[in-house]
Amino acid sequence: MTVLLFDIDNTLLDFDKAEFDALGKIFARYNITDNAENRALYSRENKALWRRHEAGEISREELLQTRFDRAFKALKVTESYNPTAVDDEYQTYLSEGHELMTHAHELMDELSKQATEMYVVSNGTSRVSRPRIFESGIAEYFREIFISEEVGHHKPSLAFFDHVFSQVEAADQKQFAIIGDSLTTDILGGKNAGIKTIWYNPKHLEVTGQAVPDLQIADLLEIPRLMKKGL
């Protein structure tokens, strides 16, 4: 039987919406004009730091402590602020966003009927990821939840996956498959770990970079059909 490892953000839970709402509250709190240009500016600074973190150049702590300082300087914020406190507020708002992706709950129901063994593998922080997973109503479907902050390693590192493998009773790594929306973390991580990779790609994006998924899906409900075919 295939053991499924599920990414959370933008795979099962709508992180884009949670981020949009949380950032809107931060902009209102610090009198920042909430428009597409300013949101894009924040996104640019944030994504640049996440890329450096995923490459092992900076720690998660450095990322969280500096992203709003960099973004607020670029936004020319005139309100007084403490970047660490801003990030703390932001993570609180973010933890409240638990809207499911299309067909996520139906997927969980269907896979549970097939007695599929499922685990969460997330690059999130504990204070944000766990409330979102539990409040969304899908936590009960998973045997265990692996969050990078708690593991001490993050996707796509092999160390993250080795930790997961060590905690799951499966005959060998050939029994695992990872489902996620990110080529650079989920798919590359799965490839590095030697397991099957399924790219959740509802926007029909092109494959770029070195991580080529074994399978692509545009709808989460394609997964049960794949399982019945032996994945």
* Cis peptide preceding 131, ω within 30 of 0: no
HSE value, Cβ hemisphere, 13 Å, CA-based, for 50: 14
Active site residues: 7, 9
> Is residue 146 within 8 Å of residue 164, measured between CB atoms?
yes
Q: Where are the alpha helices (DSSP H) in the chain?
A: 15-29, 36-54, 60-75, 83-95, 104-113, 126-136, 148-151, 158-167, 188-193, 222-228
Secondary structure class of 36 (helix, strand, coil): helix
**Calpha distance 193→143 (Å, rounded):** 20
